[in-house]
């Protein structure tokens, strides 16, 4: 993997950013941005790279972050409703499939109980915020502050999953489970997006 040898070169920050961006584009994001030592990471450099449940989940997390950013920048009447709908579908489909294919399996382990409860409670909070936003016209005065609160909550939740819950579950699930759950999550996520659209 190219990144392992970076320290021997004198590279400026811009060049390192370029290399990281190329690596992200080729799907090596977790090894570079979060440290390959974390327990949930793909086995990069050890045979064919298999997608894990964490790779699949992070893909939707990035979509969620991007849609939140776009939603807060968009003025009423210029596609705000469409972006909100896309965010609604992404958040709800992701939460459902993540609950089924990450949190339900680790709930059976004593060490998985607390992270699962915490994450599911936040999914419920996010769902309630989405329902409130959905019930009001997006050009009403209180809509944007509520959308900002939703975005803040979503960012908090994603950060906590990526920094804490993925690591905790990575110690519970086997490598074979991580790759099998990725396939099951993806199949269900695509189905849920159609159900919610």
* C-beta of residue 13 within 8 angstroms of C-beta of residue 6: no
Measured CA to CA, the distance from residue 147 to residue 186 in angstroms comes to 27
Shortest distance (Å) from residue 54 CB to Fe ion: 10
- 32 or 91: whose CB is closer to Fe ion? 91
* C-beta of residue 84 within 8 angstroms of C-beta of residue 133: yes
Burial 128-144 (b: 16+ CB within 10 A, else e): ebbeebeeeebeeeebb
Shortest distance (Å) from residue 159 CB to Fe ion: 10
The neighbour count for residue 106, using CB atoms within 10 Å, is 21
- 80 or 157: whose CB is closer to Fe ion? 157
- 129 or 144: whose CB is closer to Fe ion? 129
Shortest distance (Å) from residue 70 CB to Fe ion: 19
Query: Which tokens hold the place of 137?
Result: 């016209």
- 75 or 117: whose CB is closer to Fe ion? 117
Shortest distance (Å) from residue 61 CB to Fe ion: 6
* C-beta of residue 61 within 8 angstroms of C-beta of residue 158: yes
- 74 or 97: whose CB is closer to Fe ion? 97
- 81 or 99: whose CB is closer to Fe ion? 99
Shortest distance (Å) from residue 195 CB to Fe ion: 18
Measured CA to CA, the distance from residue 129 to residue 132 in angstroms comes to 5
Shortest distance (Å) from residue 142 CB to Fe ion: 26
* C-beta of residue 62 within 8 angstroms of C-beta of residue 54: no
Measured CA to CA, the distance from residue 32 to residue 29 in angstroms comes to 5
Binding site for Fe ion (CB under 5 A): 98, 161
Query: Which tokens hold the place of 140?
Result: 């009403």
């Amino acid at each position: 993997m190219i990144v392992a040898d970076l320290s021997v070169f004198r590279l400026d920050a811009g060049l390192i950013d370029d290399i990281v961006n190329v690596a992200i584009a080729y799907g090596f994001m977790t090894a570079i941005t979060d440290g390959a030592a974390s327990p949930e990471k793909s086995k990069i450099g050890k045979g064919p790279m298999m997608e894990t449940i964490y790779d699949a989940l992070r893909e939707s997390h990035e979509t969620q972050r991007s849609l939140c950013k776009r939603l807060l920048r968009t003025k009423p009447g210029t596609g705000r409703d469409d972006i909100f709908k896309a965010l609604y579908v992404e958040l709800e489909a992701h939460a459902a499939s993540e609950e089924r294919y990450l949190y339900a399996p680790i709930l059976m382990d004593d060490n998985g109980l607390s992270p699962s409860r915490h994450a599911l409670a936040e999914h419920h909070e996010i769902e309630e915020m989405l329902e409130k936003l959905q019930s009001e016209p997006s050009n009403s005065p209180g809509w944007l502050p509520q959308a900002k609160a939703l975005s803040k909550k979503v960012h908090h939740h994603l950060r906590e999953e990526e920094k804490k819950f993925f690591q905790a579950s990575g110690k519970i699930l086997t490598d074979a489970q991580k790759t099998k759950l990725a396939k099951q999550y993806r199949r269900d996520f695509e189905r849920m997006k159609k159900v919610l659209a």
